[in-house]
Amino acid sequence: MTNKNGRVCHAQGFVGAKPMGAGARDEFWRLRSAVNLFSMPDTGGAMKPQMRKIKPERRARRITAFALIFLPCLLVFLIFWQLRWVPVQSQARSSLQVSSVSFSDGGTIPSRYTCDGEDVSPALHWPHPPAGTKSFAVVMNDPDAPVEFTHWMVYNIPPGVWGLAEGASARGAMPQSSAEGTNDFRRLGYGGPCPPPGKPHHYVIRLYALDIRLDLLPGATRKQLDAAIERHILAEGQIVGIYRRASD
């Protein structure tokens, strides 16, 4: 066949006016194959970097999706875990009015209730407890001591008992099923104020209304009592007395 210039074009390609010989034809196809080799996309080597690039991107997307789902769930779980004690702790802010015929709140404790006198436990009274009360606990301590000093602990007082009689500890007249702990004098029961001569000390008697009956035997320590009543306080109240021993 001929083109518009009258030159012969063979099926093998344009070669001028003369047909290609066998050697030229072989050289043509060899060069053409070489050109095709460089012009065609390399499906073997060129795609591998793309595939390696795609895999980390997919992994990152999966990690992000997992984090977006898992982290909110974890946050909700932690919130509910913390809030499960909120009802009890909020009720612990309720107060009980504790009173005593032995001394007035903020007043001087008579020597009768101290180591300078008969060292008998004072009388205490409190009103009707909140709903759900299963027991009461009483703790008397001296926060003015170099190290906070515990003078008296009574626990598992029945919810139907709304007070303690004067001298109940010494006379063994504690309410039935109640128990006393070991004070910091290392004695069971009550140990009255006995500060060193000089400045007055404050003695705080706290009453706790609890939503459980404590699994404590008589003679428990302050540490054991504090651990047992933690997160079980429905209401609390206190009365404070002052005692000072004169200098010699």
Tens of pLDDT, residue by residue over 102-135, are: 999 999 999 999 999 999 999 999 988 899 999 9
pLDDT digits (tens, 9 = 90+) for 75-93: 877 776 665 544 444 444 4
Phi, psi dihedral angles at 203 (to 5 degrees): -120, 115
Instruction: Give per-residue burial for 38-63: e unless 16+ CB within 10 Å, then b.
Output: eeeeeeeeeeeeeeeeeeeeeeeeee
Tell whether the model's pLDDT for residue 17 goes beyond 60.
no
Tell how far CA 173 is from the center of its chain.
Answer: 41
Tokens of 224: 């054991």
Q: With contact defined as beta carbons under 8 Å apart, do 116 and 227 qualify? A: no
pLDDT of residue 145: 95
Tell whether the model's pLDDT for residue 248 goes beyond 50.
yes
Category of 156 on φ-ψ map: left (φ > 0), alpha (ψ -120 to 50) or beta: left
β 163-164/135-142 pair status: unpaired
**Mean pLDDT computed over every residue of the chain:** 82
pLDDT digits (tens, 9 = 90+) for 167-192: 999 887 899 999 999 999 999 999 99
pLDDT digits (tens, 9 = 90+) for 123-170: 999 988 899 999 999 999 999 999 999 999 999 999 999 999 999 998
Tell whether the model's pLDDT for residue 216 goes beyond 50.
yes
Tokens of 119: 């060292």
Phi, psi dihedral angles at 57 (to 5 degrees): -65, -40
pLDDT of residue 107: 97
pLDDT of residue 65: 78
Close Cβ partners of 143 (under 8 Å, ≥ 6 residues apart): 202, 204
Tokens of 40: 């065609």
Percent residues over pLDDT 90 in the chain: 58
Tell whether the model's pLDDT for residue 7 goes beyond 70.
no
pLDDT of residue 22: 64
* Predicted confidence band of residue 58 (pLDDT cuts 50, 70, 90): confident
Tell whether the model's pLDDT for residue 32 goes beyond 70.
no
pLDDT of residue 144: 97
Distance CA(174)–CA(205), nearest Å, equals: 17
Mean pLDDT across the stretch 29-33?
66
Distance CA(109)–CA(105), nearest Å, equals: 10
Tell whether the model's pLDDT for residue 11 goes beyond 80.
no
pLDDT of residue 148: 95
> Is the pTM of the predicted complex or chain greater than 0.75?
no
Q: Which of 66-70, 167-171, 222-226 has the lowest mean pLDDT?
A: 66-70
Close Cβ partners of 62 (under 8 Å, ≥ 6 residues apart): none
* Predicted confidence band of residue 59 (pLDDT cuts 50, 70, 90): confident
Q: Which helix (H) or strand (E) holds 64?
A: helix 47-83
Tell whether the model's pLDDT for residue 1 goes beyond 60.
no
